[in-house]
Amino acid sequence: MALPTTKGDSRPKGWGPETQARVAALLGVLDEDIRHIEATLLRLDALRSLLIKRDDKALQKLLEEIHEQGESYAATEFRRQALRRELAADLELPEDELTLSGLLSRLQGQDRASVGERQAKLKFLIARLKREHTLTSLLIADCAKFNRSLLRVFLGPAGKTGTTYSPTGAARHPTGVTLLNMQL
Domain boundaries, the chain: 17-172
Q: What confidence tier does 119 reach under pLDDT thresholds 50, 70, 90?
A: very high
**Contacts of 157 by beta carbon, 8 Å cutoff, 6+ apart:** 177
What homologous superfamily is domain 17-172 in, according to CATH? FlgN-like (1.20.58.300)
Residues 111, 113, 84, CA angle at the centre, nearest 5°? Answer: 50
Answer whether 0.75 is exceeded by the pTM.
no
Contact between 62 and 50 (Cβ < 8 Å): yes
Is the confidence at residue 31, as pLDDT, over 80?
A: yes
DSSP run (H or E) holding 172: strand 171-172
**Tens digit of each residue's pLDDT (9 = 90 or more) over 125-150:** 999 999 999 998 898 898 888 888 87
pLDDT confidence of residue 181: 53
Cα within 13 Å of Cα(88), Cβ side? 14
pLDDT confidence of residue 70: 84
pLDDT confidence of residue 7: 44
Residues comprising the chain, all counted: 184
Alpha-carbon distances of 173 from 5, 161, 165, rounded to whole Å: 87, 8, 9
